[in-house]
Amino acid sequence: MRATGAEARARIRSGFDGPTSGMAPGLVQANLISVPADWAFDVLLFTQRNPKPCPVIDVLEPGQVESALAPYSDIRTDIPGYRIWNNGELTGEVTDATQAWAEHPDLVSFLIGCSFTFENGLTEAGISIRHQDAGRNVPMYRTTTACAPAGRISGDMVVSMRPIPAAQVAEAVRITDRFPAVHGAPVHIGEPDQIGIADLSSPDFGDAPVIEDGDIPVFWACGVTPQAAIQASGVPFAITHSPGKMFITDEPEDTYRR
Amino acid sequence: MRATGAEARARIRSGFDGPTSGMAPGLVQANLISVPADWAFDVLLFTQRNPKPCPVIDVLEPGQVESALAPYSDIRTDIPGYRIWNNGELTGEVTDATQAWAEHPDLVSFLIGCSFTFENGLTEAGISIRHQDAGRNVPMYRTTTACAPAGRISGDMVVSMRPIPAAQVAEAVRITDRFPAVHGAPVHIGEPDQIGIADLSSPDFGDAPVIEDGDIPVFWACGVTPQAAIQASGVPFAITHSPGKMFITDEPEDTYRR
């Protein structure tokens, strides 16, 4: 039986701290970025101008910790891992962000659709998800593709990569194109060096890829992009999820299928 | 020959003060809402939560008066009519907003796609645009359909109405559904009282409709919605376009066709 969102969040709240790819299949997963209210407009504008890496599916206003997409959730505890950022530097990783939130009660939180959401659709079409099969986190890479800047925020796009057998690449595009709110179709297929990725075997986030003979590396815009922007822009304070460790909502992926 | 966006804006800048439906066909037209920087997050969040009435196509940051969608444009002069709002009350209508801008230099401006954009597609499919044929402004109505509130902003949806022959209603839906950035498919077809419209002949904005025998009233979400929200929410200061008098961009409508 498939896990409900509430069950997955309860499991995480009580200690699960791994990547969430493959958990609660069929439900939308989300990236998190929380910033002080003074920076909220810049971040929201950055997402509006960069909808491919930053498709916003919910915004929690100051003081709000329950997402409208997940009744009884608590954004401070229901993610397996958080990163704490000060002046653009990663200063800590925690599994419970309650204390950090208490020190910054005006945080505005953005939930951004995650590509784990469409992995279920790929699997159902007979396309193997190599990192899931290997029990690894998805590999993610910084690119040299600049995002559109917004106010005080700028940065390059981060992408996730899934190796797909050449015969199935078109089908993978077709399936993921139906999910614009979780990054949609790939941004690049093959030729990693063209987007500034020198070595596929050394991702900037997540685990090293498993690539089989005849696989083509396929790149999707990734919700870790705001973390690269936080770094590049020296945002004074932020809390994000740890790459690959997502917020699981109660929304069926069908809600975001077009 | 079709007018370019620059030609249409020059004509407006030099005095044209009528509605823009039918001007520069094939180019995207936009609604305007400008608010002080302190209110910009609330407005952007309102648009994010209400994408059907408020599809944002460009945001001009404080001090910016040229839209990225219209080189050499000036948002202060290139709209045929502006409304000035103080504390939620309409306090003036002008054809040049340069002075109002000078008094509020931190204004953030939101351009919201306008349904005039898809009228060209309807016409090309042989669907008559009654208000254009009669040389009138499109009729617009306040509804009792509440928008999702955001921060300090709330309000009901405003809709535009086009009477469509019953045999062509489905085709009108099909065509406009392809343009999500300019309100997309209708929000309601027939039965105006169900959305709180008591009298079709007395619109809240624009001109009275021309309805022929066998026409069905078809309602699209309208970019005047933020003006109703400004009123309902008592926003301290705002500048908007006058209903029906839009900002004409250089973007071909195809850019926003899916």
The secondary structure of residue A162, as a DSSP letter, is E
Is residue A2 scored above 90 in pLDDT?
no
**A48, A61, A108 member nearest B56 (Cβ):** A48
Mean pLDDT of A223-245: 96
**A37, A41, A61 member nearest B44 (Cβ):** A41
Looking at the predicted complex, does its ipTM rise above 0.90? no
**A37, A45, A61 member nearest B44 (Cβ):** A45
Q: Do B40 and A41 touch (CB under 8 A)?
A: yes
The secondary structure of residue A149, as a DSSP letter, is P
Q: From CA A178, how far away is CA A255, in angstroms rounded?
A: 11
Complete DSSP assignment for chain B = -PPPHHHHHHHHHTT--S--TTSSTTEEEEEEEEEEHHHHHHHHHHHHH-TTT--EEEEEPTT--S-TTSTT--TTTSSS-EEEEETTEEEEEES--HHHHHH-TTEEEEEEE-THHHHHHHHHTT---HHHHTT-PPPEEEEEEEPPPBTTB--EEEEEEEEEEGGGHHHHHHHHTT-GGGT-S-SEES-GGGGT---TTS-SBSPPP---TTEEEEEEE-TTHHHHHHHHHT-SEEEEEPTT--EEEEEEGGGG--
pLDDT tens digits for range A56-100: 999 999 989 999 999 999 999 999 999 999 999 999 999 999 999
Give chain A positions within 8 Å (CB) of B68.
none
Nearest-Cα distance to chain B for A41, in Å, is: 5
Nearest-Cα distance to chain A for B57, in Å, is: 9
pLDDT band at B181 (very low <50, low <70, confident <90, very high): confident
Show the domains of chain B with their CATH numbers. Answer: 5-115+226-256 (3.40.1640.10), 129-221 (3.30.2040.10)
With an 8 Å Cβ cutoff, the interface of chain B facing chain A consists of 37, 40-41, 44-45, 48-49, 56, 59, 61, 108, 150-151
Nearest-Cα distance to chain B for A57, in Å, is: 9
Residue B255 contacts residue B182 (beta carbons within 8 Å): no
pLDDT tens digits for range B24-61: 998 999 999 999 999 999 999 999 999 999 999 999 99
Is residue B110 scored above 60 in pLDDT?
yes
Please report, for residues A162, A199, A208, the alpha-carbon distance to residue A191 in angstroms, rounded to integers and kept in the order given: 13, 11, 18
pLDDT tens digits for range B74-109: 999 999 999 999 999 999 999 999 999 999 999 999
The residue written with tokens 């009792």 in the block is B144
For chain B, give the number of residues: 258
Please report, for residues A5, A45, A56, A182, B217, the alpha-carbon distance to residue A176 in angstroms, rounded to integers and kept in the order given: 22, 25, 17, 8, 37
Is residue B2 scored above 80 in pLDDT?
no
Give me the torsion for CA of B179, B181, B183, B186, rounded to 10°. 30
Give chain B positions within 8 Å (CB) of A108.
41
Assigned token pair, A254: 């069908």
Give chain B positions within 8 Å (CB) of A48.
44, 48, 56, 59
pLDDT band at B257 (very low <50, low <70, confident <90, very high): confident
pLDDT tens digits for range A5-60: 999 999 999 999 999 988 999 899 999 999 999 999 999 999 999 999 999 999 99
